[in-house]
Amino acid sequence: MSQCTNLVSKVTCQFKESYTRKNIADKIYKILEEFGIETKIIVLTTDNDANMISTANYLSDKLILNDFCHYRNIAHILNLVVLADLNSLADSIKKLKKLIKVICKLTKNFEDLKNIVTLDEKPFLAPI
């Protein structure tokens, strides 16, 4: 197994503490120390979770590296944008369905009113 695979395995499989920035950063730092790379150029890619952003900031201070970079996963960001758009579209569709039901009900009521008026043999004057 390669060193990189071992590193990923350690981070993803051994995390059992509560999900706080300090715990996450401390675990990552401990693993970096185990591999002897805590003084190397480090890049951390995370999602947009507040704990992960805070973890990156905390880890950056702890590593004291000029070359530490934190990137947010663009695929995760795009997924959030698409889901937000779909959710807003779903609300519009629900509102449109309600409007159509009201219009259908009004049309039926209008026809009922027309039938009642014509029973009395009076002219039915419809609004324009």
Number of domains, the chain: 1
pLDDT 10s digits, 72-122:
888 888 888 888 888 888 888 888 889 888 887 887 887 887 788 777 777
What is the pTM for the complete model shown? 0.53
Q: What is the DSSP string of 29-49?
A: HHHHHHTT-TTS--EEEE-S-
DSSP codes, 45-69: EE-S-HHHHHHHHHHHHHHT-TT-E
81, part of any domain? no
Q: Please indicate, yes or no, if residue 125 is contained in any of the structural domains.
A: no
Question: Does 68 fall in a domain?
Answer: yes
pLDDT in tens, 5-35: 565 565 555 667 788 888 888 888 888 888 8
Q: Is 112 within a domain?
A: no
Residue 30 lies in a domain: yes
Q: Is residue 98 part of a domain?
A: no
Q: Is residue 12 part of a domain?
A: yes
